Amino acid sequence: MWNVFLGDKKGGGKMAKVYAPLMSIDASGTYANQLTYAKWKGIRYVRNHVIPANPRTSEQINVRNAFMTAVDQWHQENAQTKALWETAAQTAGRPMSAFNLYVGKFIQYAKGHNWQAPTIPFTPTTE
């Protein structure tokens, strides 16, 4: 069974059930540049095919650069620092990897410090 979202993202849509999409048991990808079949957390869905906007605002560029820097710095962190992030992720209250928590906190830090990256080691207690 598939969930089909029909409408816009502002709440004007309806949900429909689809069985055996495209005469098959499973489907993924875009069909005729109109419909996109996908699965998210085990839930199959179909949505209108959309080409996302790519704003090139200074804020967007800052966030993208911070993400790249966060990933680079994660790979430079030592095992001890990564273990601290692993512990913090396990107690975060929701399923999250140490890497995801690190990147999220890194972005928060950078945004609050005029987009300056924290120094290595960047630990869960770094403000």
Residues 10 and 41 placed together within one structural domain of the fold = yes
For residue 110, is pLDDT > 90?
A: yes
Domains contained in the chain, number? 2
d(C-alpha 41, C-alpha 2), whole Å: 13
What's residue 62's pLDDT? 94
For residue 107, is pLDDT > 90?
A: yes
Residues 103 and 64 placed together within one structural domain of the fold = yes
Q: DSSP string spanning the chain?
A: -EEEEES-TTS--EEEEESSGGGSS---EEETTTEEEEEETTEEEEEE---------HHHHHHHHHHHHHHHHHHHS-HHHHHHHHHHHHTSSS---HHHHHHHHHHHHHHHTTTPPPPSS--TT--
* Residue 120 falls inside a structural domain: no
Higher pLDDT, 91 or 3: 91
φ and ψ of 47, to 5 deg: -140, 165
Q: For residues 79 and 70, is the Cβ–Cβ distance under 8 A?
A: no
* Residue 20 falls inside a structural domain: yes
Q: For residues 36 and 47, is the Cβ–Cβ distance under 8 A?
A: yes
What's residue 73's pLDDT? 98
What's residue 94's pLDDT? 83
* Residue 65 falls inside a structural domain: yes
What's residue 32's pLDDT? 81
What's residue 37's pLDDT? 81
* Residue 118 falls inside a structural domain: no
Residues 7 and 25 placed together within one structural domain of the fold = yes
pLDDT per residue over 17-52, tens digit each? 565 666 666 777 787 888 888 877 777 778 888 888
What's residue 21's pLDDT? 60
Residues 74 and 107 placed together within one structural domain of the fold = yes
* Residue 78 falls inside a structural domain: yes
Residues 24 and 43 placed together within one structural domain of the fold = yes
Residues 35 and 74 placed together within one structural domain of the fold = no
Residues 44 and 62 placed together within one structural domain of the fold = no
pLDDT per residue over 44-103, tens digit each? 778 888 888 888 899 999 999 999 999 999 999 999 999 999 999 999 888 889 999 999
Residues 103 and 75 placed together within one structural domain of the fold = yes
Domain of residue 102, residue span: 58-112
What's residue 34's pLDDT? 81
